[in-house]
Structure 1
Amino acid sequence: MVILVRPQLAENIGMCARAMLNFGLTEMRLVAPRDGWPKKGARQASSGAASVLDGATLFETVQEAIADLNRVYATTARERGQTKPFFAADEAAAEMRTLTEGGSRVGVLFGPERMGLSNDDVGLADAVISFPVNPEFSSINLAQSVLLVGYEWWKLVSGGRAPIAPTRVSPPAERRHLLSFFDYLERELDATGFLTPAEKRPLMVRNLRNIWHRLAMTEQDVQTMRGVVAALVTGRRGGRSGRERQDPEPRDESSEGSPD
């Protein structure tokens, strides 16, 4: 859970709620907000994460806020002279996951916007989370700190995979379609005089084919590039519309991918 200690601005609390819900964190605790709670402005700043704000619980002291927890982490950008384990956010997330899977209740303390947690606050924690930032400018705002911890947590519980995948994927090009494209392209290049002198033609053809092979072309790629060459050919010849094909290849509808 996320514990905001003496937060100063309602808008920052709202932005923390947004960052939490982005990464599946829903339990917020507030310790002595400077302007009281609830406060106007938090809901708007949450951008739809009102459920986190509605479930937030209020405490007078840090001791009360952590009383029912089994392990507590404090976030800080400064060395505090306290002998505690120090973790980067990803390391802490891994330990937190192990602890929660074993039934432990875990919380992370985030300090007020201006100065961060006090040494006494940090002294109540079992371990410290610090972020690998530019040492010449290490200040991170409150919502950013929550987001960094939440992001590392969510990477673990979600598997860390990108959430967006192609919905329509053309299959890899069949060799017969690829070779037919090569023949067509090379005939047209011969017609323009590109593949000269004759003694260099085999090497030039081989190099061209290797370029296409490195692209790992799909069926749709081959059809598209064949259409591109056809458009250039008709334009050069001053003939029919560039959308008409020259020397069209018989199309195998069953093997074509959907247009991009």
Structure 2
Amino acid sequence: MLTSNITFILHKPQLSENIGSCARGMKNFNFNKLIVVNPKPIFPNDKILATSVGAKNVINNSKNYENIEKALKNIDIVIATSARFRNKNIKHIQLEDLKKINYKKKVAFLFGSEASGLSNNEISYANYTLQIPTNPDFKSLNLSHSLIIVAHYVSNIINSKKFPFKKSDKVKSASKKEIVAMANLCIKNLDDIDFFKTKEKKPIMLENLRNIFYRMELSAKETRILSGVFASLGKKR
């Protein structure tokens, strides 16, 4: 089933009740892949299991990672949710644009913490940012409410079995793991030649580099070629 290609990632969730409610909302729409990244409460715990109600299996089968890179290692497309418009060269999409996503690939929806949402650094790992339309004077949505809106919308798309996205089956898209490895190799070589001379500017430069790599939607072959180029440049020194 295409729902098995969908993963919901909660980045630094702070409340046990919200984690449990997210699992419950996922199961309502037949999704079962949950990842939590560096959660504040002990994971799992009794409160999470209690608020998940009949979705304890989603919690029990979920994965817990310490950082976002490890969470994305088997993902092809990352869609980050944000109530704020980011002044970044990244594709900003609306709910209706989710119809254009290829759900035959491994797709992850990334949600930020209840207190601060997603930082620009975390957004830089995404292919797209998604904004849920709300009252412009009151944009903040509860974490589980945001997830349920997305889950409901994507479930309707998948069940309609209409996919306008077409691409040659011979072209294999690079996984997030492959792109992260390539990007890290590039960054290591740049570090070795002291490219980031102004240390305070390094974080924003790294964000921009990741935005470039992820926005390109590289194939696995292209990623291998670029990795080879970066490795060769490193050896030439």
Q: What TM-score do you get using the length of structure 2 for normalisation? A: 0.63
Gaps of 5+ in 1: 161-260
SS of match in other structure, 2:10: strand
Distance 1:36 1:88 in 2: 34
SS of match in other structure, 1:34: coil
Distance 1:155 1:49 in 2: 20
Give yes or no for contact 1:4–1:30 (8 Å, CA) kept in 2.
yes
Could you give the per-residue CA deviations for residues 72-129 of structure 1, whole angstroms, max 9, x where no partner exists?
Answer: 010000012111111112322x133xx222xx21101000011111111111101011
Q: Which of 76, 89, 105 is equivalent to 1:83? A: 89
User: Is it true that 1:4 corresponds to 2:7 in the alignment?
Assistant: no
SS of match in other structure, 1:48: helix
Question: Deviating runs (4+, > 4 A) in structure 1?
Answer: none
For 2:14, give the aligned amino acid: Q
Gaps of 5+ in 2: 1-6, 162-237
Distance 2:46 2:20 in 1: 10
User: Is it true that 1:123 corresponds to 2:124 in the alignment?
Assistant: yes
Q: Which of 99, 103, 115 is equivalent to 1:100? A: 103
- Aligned CA RMSD, in angstroms, stands at 1.4
Distance 2:74 2:18 in 1: 26
What percent of counterpart residues are identical? 32
Q: In the alignment, which residue of structure 2 is the partner of 1:173? A: none
Q: What pairs with 1:98-247 in structure 2 (closer than 5 Å)?
A: 99-101=102-104, 104-159=105-160
The number of equivalent residue pairs is 155
Could you give the per-residue CA deviations for residues 200-244 of structure 1, whole angstroms, max 9, x where no partner exists?
Answer: xxxxxxxxxxxxxxxxxxxxxxxxxxxxxxxxxxxxxxxxxxxxx
Give yes or no for contact 1:2–1:109 (8 Å, CA) kept in 2.
yes
SS of match in other structure, 2:140: coil
Q: In the alignment, which residue of structure 2 is the partner of 1:165? A: none
Q: What TM-score do you get using the length of structure 1 for normalisation? A: 0.58
Could you give the per-residue CA deviations for residues 161-186 of structure 1, whole angstroms, max 9, x where no partner exists?
Answer: xxxxxxxxxxxxxxxxxxxxxxxxxx
* C-alpha displacement of 1:11: 1.0
User: Is it true that 1:16 corresponds to 2:17 in the alignment?
Assistant: no
SS of match in other structure, 2:103: helix
Q: Which of 41, 46, 50 is equivalent to 2:52? A: 46
